[in-house]
Structure 1
Amino acid sequence: MSSFFTLPASQKKRKREPPSAGAGAKRAGPVKRKEERDESISGSDISDDDVPAARKEQYESSEDEDEDETLEGEDPAAKRVRLAEQYLANTQKEVLDDVGFDAADVDAENLRRRMGERLKEDTAESRGKLYRWIADGLDWSRAERKVTRVEGKSVTAVAVQGQFVYTAGKDRAVSRWEIPSGQPPTKDGKQVGRASKKPKRVAHSAGSRREKSNRDYQQHTGAILCIAASPDGRFVATGGTDKKMIVWDAPTLKPLRVFTQHRDTVTSLAFRRGSNQLFSASRDRTVKIWSLDELAYIETLFGHQDEVVDVSALAQEKCVTVGARDRTARLWKVVEESQLVFRGGGAPSKPKRDRAAKGTAEPDLPEAKPHNEGSMDRVACIDDETFITGSDNGSLSLWNIHKKKPVFTYALAHGLEAPLPLELVSAEEHPDEAVRGEPQPRWITALRAIPFSDTFVTGSWDGCVRAWRISEDKRRIEALGPVGQEVEDVTALLEQEGIPASSLVNGALQAMQVGAQSEAGVAHGVINDLAIVDVGERGEEGVLVAAAVGTEHRLGRWSEMSEAKNRLMLFEVPRKVAGAELGEDGDEGVNGVAETNGVVGEEDFAGFD
Structure 2
Amino acid sequence: MSSSFFLKAGSKANKKTKTPAATKGKGVKTAAKSGKSGFQNARAEGPVPKKQRRPKEKDEEIESDDEEYNSDLGDGGHNTLAFSSDEGEEETAQDKRLRLAKQYLSEIEKQESERAEDRELGQSVEQRLQTDYLDSVGKLRRNIAGNLKTNEVTSVLKHKLHHMPICALALSPDGKFLYAGAKSQFVLKWSTQNGKVLDKCDVLPHREEPETGKKRRSHVIAICLSTDMKYMALAEGGPHIQIWCPQTMKHVKTLKGHRDSVAGLVFRKGTHDLYSAAKDRSVKIWSLDEMAYVESLFGHQTGVTSIDALSRERAITAGGSDCSLRIWKITEESQLIYNGHRDSIECVKLMNDEHFVSGGVDGAISLWSALKKKPICTTQLAHGVGENGVANWITAIAVVVNTDLVATGSCDGFVKLWQTNPNARKLQQIQSIPITGFINGLTFNADGTKLYVGVGQEHRLGRWWRHKEAKNNVVVVDIVLQNATGK
TM over 0.5: yes
2:368 match: 399
CA distance in structure 2 between the partners assigned to 1:465 and 1:230 by the alignment: 27
Q: Which amino acid aligns with 2:222?
A: C
Q: How many pairs were matched up?
A: 374
CA distance in structure 2 between the partners assigned to 1:246 and 1:270 by the alignment: 13
SS in 2 for 1:139: strand
Q: 2:406 aligns with which of 456, 471, 476?
A: 456
SS in 2 for 1:549: strand
Q: Classify 1:441/1:149 alpha carbon distance in 2 versus 1 (closer, same or farther; 3 Å).
A: farther
Q: 1:418 aligns with which of 364, 383, 387?
A: 387
CA distance in structure 1 between the partners assigned to 2:422 and 2:184 by the alignment: 43
Could you give the per-residue CA deviations for residues 17-36 of structure 1, whole angstroms, max 9, x where no partner exists?
xxxxxxxxxxxxxxxxxxxx
Residues 58-97 of structure 1 mapped to structure 2, 5 A cutoff: none
CA distance in structure 1 between the partners assigned to 2:327 and 2:422 by the alignment: 23
Structure (1/2) with the larger strand percentage? 2
Could you give the per-residue CA deviations for residues 520-565 of structure 1, whole angstroms, max 9, x where no partner exists?
x2x221111111112xxxx3xx522111111111111111122222
SS in 2 for 1:307: coil
Deviation of 1:9 (Å): 5.3
Deviation of 1:111 (Å): 4.4
Whether the aligned pair in 1 keeps the contact of 2:316 and 2:328 (CA below 8 Å) is: yes
Name whichever of 113-122 and 264-273 sits farther off: 113-122
Name whichever of 136-145 and 554-563 sits farther off: 136-145
Whether the aligned pair in 2 keeps the contact of 1:143 and 1:573 (CA below 8 Å) is: no
Q: Which amino acid aligns with 1:376?
A: I
CA distance in structure 2 between the partners assigned to 1:168 and 1:142 by the alignment: 24
Name whichever of 255-264 and 137-146 sits farther off: 137-146
After superposition, the CA RMSD in angstroms is 2.8
Could you give the per-residue CA deviations for residues 83-116 of structure 1, whole angstroms, max 9, x where no partner exists?
xxxxxxxxxxxxxxxxxxxx9xx99x84432332
Q: Higher relative CO (CA 8 A, sep ≥ 6), structure 1 or 2?
A: 1
1:320 match: 316
CA distance in structure 2 between the partners assigned to 1:313 and 1:469 by the alignment: 21
Deviation of 1:127 (Å): 4.5
2:438 match: 526
Matched, 1:560 2:466: yes
CA distance in structure 1 between the partners assigned to 2:253 and 2:120 by the alignment: 46
SS in 2 for 1:119: helix
CA distance in structure 2 between the partners assigned to 1:481 and 1:126 by the alignment: 30
CA distance in structure 2 between the partners assigned to 1:137 and 1:274 by the alignment: 29
SS in 2 for 1:112: helix
1:447 match: 397
% identity of equivalent residues: 34
1:475 match: 425
Could you give the per-residue CA deviations for residues 365-407 of structure 1, whole angstroms, max 9, x where no partner exists?
xxxxxxxx31111100011111110011211101111111111
Could you give the per-residue CA deviations for residues 117-164 of structure 1, whole angstroms, max 9, x where no partner exists?
233324433553351111122334345343424533221100100311
CA distance in structure 1 between the partners assigned to 2:430 and 2:155 by the alignment: 17
CA distance in structure 2 between the partners assigned to 1:452 and 1:474 by the alignment: 17
Could you give the per-residue CA deviations for residues 489-533 of structure 1, whole angstroms, max 9, x where no partner exists?
xxxxxxxxxxxxxxxxxxxxxxxxxxxxxxxx2x22111111111
Whether the aligned pair in 1 keeps the contact of 2:167 and 2:454 (CA below 8 Å) is: yes
Which consecutive unaligned segments of at least 5 residues does structure 2 have?
A: 1-49, 57-112
Q: Which amino acid aligns with 2:425?
A: R
CA distance in structure 1 between the partners assigned to 2:280 and 2:408 by the alignment: 26
Name whichever of 227-236 and 332-341 sits farther off: 227-236
Q: Classify 1:411/1:236 alpha carbon distance in 2 versus 1 (closer, same or farther; 3 Å).
A: same
2:358 match: 389
Whether the aligned pair in 2 keeps the contact of 1:278 and 1:289 (CA below 8 Å) is: yes
1:551 match: 457
Give structure 1 regions of 4+ aligned residues with deviation exceeding 6 angstroms.
none
CA distance in structure 2 between the partners assigned to 1:171 and 1:177 by the alignment: 16
2:192 match: 179
Could you give the per-residue CA deviations for residues 326-363 of structure 1, whole angstroms, max 9, x where no partner exists?
00000000010000000123xxxxxxxxxxxxxxxxxx
CA distance in structure 2 between the partners assigned to 1:332 and 1:378 by the alignment: 16
Residues 269-280 of structure 1 mapped to structure 2, 5 A cutoff: 269-280=265-276
SS in 1 for 2:481: coil
Q: Classify 1:472/1:322 alpha carbon distance in 2 versus 1 (closer, same or farther; 3 Å).
A: closer
Could you give the per-residue CA deviations for residues 558-598 of structure 1, whole angstroms, max 9, x where no partner exists?
1112222210111122223xxxxxxxxxxxxxxxx49xx53
Q: 1:124 aligns with which of 134, 141, 162?
A: 134
CA distance in structure 2 between the partners assigned to 1:471 and 1:227 by the alignment: 29
Q: Classify 1:340/1:251 alpha carbon distance in 2 versus 1 (closer, same or farther; 3 Å).
A: same
Q: 1:200 aligns with which of 182, 196, 199?
A: 196
Whether the aligned pair in 2 keeps the contact of 1:144 and 1:573 (CA below 8 Å) is: no
Q: Classify 1:474/1:115 alpha carbon distance in 2 versus 1 (closer, same or farther; 3 Å).
A: farther
Q: Which amino acid aligns with 2:185?
A: R
TM-score (norm 2): 0.71
SS in 2 for 1:157: strand
Q: Which amino acid aligns with 1:418?
A: E
Matched, 1:224 2:220: yes
Could you give the per-residue CA deviations for residues 451-510 of structure 1, whole angstroms, max 9, x where no partner exists?
111111111112222111112625211111124xxxxxxxxxxxxxxxxxxxxxxxxxxx
Q: Which amino acid aligns with 2:366?
A: S
Whether the aligned pair in 2 keeps the contact of 1:241 and 1:264 (CA below 8 Å) is: no
Q: Which amino acid aligns with 2:443?
A: A
CA distance in structure 2 between the partners assigned to 1:244 and 1:230 by the alignment: 18
Whether the aligned pair in 2 keeps the contact of 1:160 and 1:166 (CA below 8 Å) is: yes
Q: Classify 1:261/1:569 alpha carbon distance in 2 versus 1 (closer, same or farther; 3 Å).
A: same
SS in 2 for 1:574: strand
Q: Which amino acid aligns with 1:222?
A: S
Matched, 1:466 2:416: yes
SS in 2 for 1:573: strand
Q: Which amino acid aligns with 1:559?
A: W
Deviation of 1:8 (Å): 6.6
Q: Which amino acid aligns with 1:402?
A: L
Q: Classify 1:111/1:7 alpha carbon distance in 2 versus 1 (closer, same or farther; 3 Å).
A: farther
CA distance in structure 1 between the partners assigned to 2:206 and 2:55 by the alignment: 98
SS in 1 for 2:308: strand
CA distance in structure 1 between the partners assigned to 2:146 and 2:345 by the alignment: 29
Q: 2:245 aligns with which of 244, 249, 269?
A: 249
CA distance in structure 1 between the partners assigned to 2:159 and 2:356 by the alignment: 33
Deviation of 1:274 (Å): 2.1
1:167 match: 180
CA distance in structure 2 between the partners assigned to 1:140 and 1:277 by the alignment: 38
CA distance in structure 2 between the partners assigned to 1:8 and 1:165 by the alignment: 87
Could you give the per-residue CA deviations for residues 167-192 of structure 1, whole angstroms, max 9, x where no partner exists?
111222211111125xxxxxxxxxxx
1:239 match: 235
Q: Classify 1:140/1:303 alpha carbon distance in 2 versus 1 (closer, same or farther; 3 Å).
A: farther
1:41 match: none
Q: Which amino acid aligns with 1:160?
A: L
CA distance in structure 1 between the partners assigned to 2:399 and 2:207 by the alignment: 37
1:598 match: 486
Larger radius of gyration: 1
1:570 match: 476
